[in-house]
Amino acid sequence: MNNRSIIRIVLVLMLFGLNTVRALDPKDGSPLKRGVHPHMYLNDQTIPDIKRFIEQNFLSEFQEYVDFANNTSDNDSYNILSEAGHDPTRAVMIHQAFIAALGTVDGINYPISLEQYASRAINSLIRRLDAGDELSFAAAMTADWTYNFQSASQRTEIANKMLTRKITHKVFDHSIQNPEIDPEQMFSSKYFETNYAWYQALAFWGDGRIDAAADNAANQFYDDMLNYGYLDALNFVAGEWGGFSEWIGYTSWHPRTHMLNLDAWHTATGENYISQNTNGGNALKNYPKFMRYAMDPHKYFNEFYTYLRMGSAEATDPSFRHRSMREQIYYLGGVLQRAGQDNEAGLIRDMIEKYNVTWPSHPHQWLYVWLGMYKNAAPVTPEDLNFPHYLWNKNLGVFLARTGFNSPADGVFAAMDGHFRYDGHQGAEDYSGFILAKFGTLLNTRHVAHRSYGNLSNYPGGYEENTIFFEGGYRQNLKSMDTPAELQTAMNGSADYDYGGLEYMVAKDGYFYQMRSNRTLELSSGASHVREYVWLPGENPESDSDFLVTYDRAAAPTKAQYVYHVPWKPTVSGYASTQDITNGTGESDRIGDRFTGANITIKELNSLGGEKDSDG
């Protein structure tokens, strides 16, 4: 063989290697490496921690939970395998399997034996497989958690039936046997409301029944989640500050399935992508940090806490009244503890206790509490971690600054304008504008400058975004990043995915914040818009005023309309003419007036409350 042939063979091998999928090699000590069940969430390391959490804090609630799992019929319409989005842990078989796998908790009176709980779950799983259900979280959890209670024939039957069964997905038709997909539209329901072959494979990996298929399916994790897939995409959005692309409305429940996915992979394989940055960021690790910056300082109508919100998100969507928001917050602490992120888990505990994150309403939701074991972490405050009073997540398109993290009198300023269009719902690029939240002894109102959300678009002249609009439009349709290749291209600064946004920030001594938003790139030729915000918070939130100044500069062949959502009618000077747009019904007077002129000054001052003042 000559040297040229050797070189040719080496090149072929190199090219072949570039196209192979990375192979799973579980870490030493992991359940998959040791060949023991359960694989996911529950193992000989996590079970003692969960038991201790229950025994020291929630014995009466866990007693109610085991009674619920005994008394609830397994024939109700929710006891199915395919629910992946809104209520992925609803099926009672999951909870029967969990009780059996967890083992005896001291102080609990079990109405039936652990073996009977497991038997009911196994029978339900087989019955629903026979009924033709697609697979999602319930199938893998139940199969894994009841493995030690299954007979040899049941293990074979369950594995063979799940091998070829379609897995619930918004886009793709795939299974453990045929696991390959091409991740697309990675920021929306097509990720968060679906399930994956690699997840199902974790229940069977190394069991000696469908090993080759399970191994191949598990390997798809590296293509689906990494290599600019779903995990890389979410981490790119989050950066070092946290946040999800849909945090305005869908953050109430979408991140919950991302937590289930990464926690399952970590506990089964030992690979800790919860702590590990990819693409310059980490969505789950930094999520508690983002939550603390985005919190509204006081209760909504003195009832419940929410995130600051804009766009079409109603008050209860991003709030701690929302059942799914409570589920994910109670769960996230345990995900972080198991990943070794004690400070971040401590932030979650402090938030649950400080902001009155109420107990989930229904027993089937309590699984998130048991897996979250939030009281096992010591409380940690933003002050303990020396958080600065501002956050700027450029990729998400959000700037947040606040006078503090503890007082309901704190002022919070937020600006939103995304550089990128993420294929989802209600992101920063959809709702440009600002919020100034202030509530205290000096000011008896909720928002000095209103957030824009809900039904403002129902009123004549109303806009959901408090930014600029031109007669004739000029705003281009933003191109979203649907595929891993497009995300990689955007990250490298190529193509036309960046449409401008928040791009310049100055913070000085905790009392001066300047943020510039350049929206010119998202406008068609001949139009431009740059807005600068300067926020001057008072030194003492309880007694000092805050000042927000906005500078707008725009050019276009037609008139520009600058929109500011404010709770009271402002003082305006320098205008040439005005137009009344309060001709609607209900609260249409909130729309106010339209002012026309080349160089207009608008002042909004109020220190005692006003005509639209309220607790909410």
Query: Given the DSSP bridges, would you call strands 468-470 and 501-508 parallel, antiparallel or unpaired?
Result: unpaired
Angle of CA points 229, 232, 234, to nearest 5°? 105
Domain boundary among 167, 201, 219: 219
In a domain, 175, yes or no: yes
Contact call for residues 288 and 332 (beta carbons, < 8 A): yes
In a domain, 245, yes or no: no
In a domain, 152, yes or no: yes
Q: How far apart are CA 167 and CA 84, in angstroms?
A: 10
- pTM > 0.95: no
Contact call for residues 357 and 318 (beta carbons, < 8 A): no
Q: How far apart are CA 417 and CA 176, in angstroms?
A: 41
The answer, yes or no, to whether residue 441 has pLDDT greater than 90, is no
In a domain, 256, yes or no: no
Q: How far apart are CA 181 and CA 173, in angstroms?
A: 8
Q: How far apart are CA 299 and CA 615, in angstroms?
A: 9
Over residues 376-405, the pLDDT tens digits come to: 999 999 999 999 999 999 999 999 999 999
Instruction: Mark 198-223 as b/e (b = at least 16 C-beta within 10 Å).
Output: bbbbbbbbbbebbeebbebbbbbbbb
Other CB atoms within a 10 A radius of the CB of residue 18 amount to: 7
- pLDDT confidence of 285, banded at 50, 70, 90? very high
In a domain, 505, yes or no: yes
- pLDDT confidence of 427, banded at 50, 70, 90? confident
| Whole-number pLDDT of residue 516 | 92
In a domain, 282, yes or no: no
In a domain, 554, yes or no: yes
In a domain, 120, yes or no: yes
- Domain range for residue 105? 57-219
159 contact partners, CB below 8 Å, separation of at least 6: 143, 204, 207, 209, 210
- Biggest CA–CA distance in the chain, Å, is 91
DSSP three-state, residue 375: helix
| Whole-number pLDDT of residue 27 | 98
The answer, yes or no, to whether residue 603 has pLDDT greater than 60, is yes
Q: What's the mean pLDDT in 482-505?
A: 87
CATH number at residue 597: 2.70.98.70
Contact call for residues 467 and 531 (beta carbons, < 8 A): yes
Q: ω before 360 within 30° of 0 (cis)?
A: no
Residues of the chain with pLDDT > 90, as a percent, come to: 51
Over residues 160-188, the pLDDT tens digits come to: 999 999 999 888 899 999 999 988 777 77
Query: How many Å separate Cα 313 from the centre of its chain?
Result: 14
Q: What's the mean pLDDT in 301-329?
A: 76
Tokens coding 157: 């039957």
Domain boundary among 202, 219, 236: 219
When mean pLDDT is compared across 34-48, 268-282, 433-447, the lowest value belongs to 433-447
| Whole-number pLDDT of residue 195 | 94
Number of domains within the chain: 2
| Whole-number pLDDT of residue 256 | 92
What kind and span of H or E run contains 198? helix 197-201
When mean pLDDT is compared across 131-135, 136-140, 440-444, 577-581, the lowest value belongs to 440-444
Q: How far apart are CA 456 and CA 454, in angstroms?
A: 6
Domain boundary among 219, 249, 279: 219
Residue 585 vs residue 298, higher pLDDT: 298
Tokens coding 90: 């609803």
